[in-house]
Copies of this chain bind each other. A is one copy, B any other.
Amino acid sequence: MTRCLNCAVRNVGICGALTDEQLSDFHRIGQWRTYQPGERFFSSQEDEPFVGAIHKGTAKVTKTLLDGRSQIVGLLFPPNCCGQTLSVDNAYLIEALTRIEICIFKLASFQQMAMKYPGLNGRLLKQALEDLDAAQDWMVLLGQKSAEERVASFFLRMSKQPTTFINDDINVAAKPGYFRLQLGRQDMSDCIGLNYDTVCRHISTLKKRNLIAFDGPNYFRVLDMENLVKLAG
Contacts and interface: CB of A to CB of B under 8 A. Distances in A.
Interface in A56-75: 61, 63, 65-67, 69-71, 73-74
Contacts of A85: 129, 132-133
B87 A143 contact: no
A224 interface: no
A90 interface: yes
Contact of A137 (B63, B132, B133, B192): B63
A137 B90 contact: yes
A233 B63 contact: no
A8 to B, nearest CB: 23
A92 interface: yes
Contacts of A122: 121
Nearest to A63: B140
| Number of this chain's copies in the complex | 2
Interface residues of A, number: 44
A232 to B, nearest CB: 10
A128 to B, nearest CB: 4
A158 interface: no
A61 B133 CA distance: 12
Contact of A142 (B84, B118, B133, B193): B193
A139 interface: yes
B128 A129 contact: yes
The 6 closest A-B pairs by CB, nearest first: A143-B193, A142-B142, A73-B136, A128-B128, A135-B135, A87-B133
Given A128-B128, A143-B190, 8 more contacts: A63-B136, A63-B139, A71-B140, A73-B140, A86-B129, A87-B130, A131-B132, A135-B135
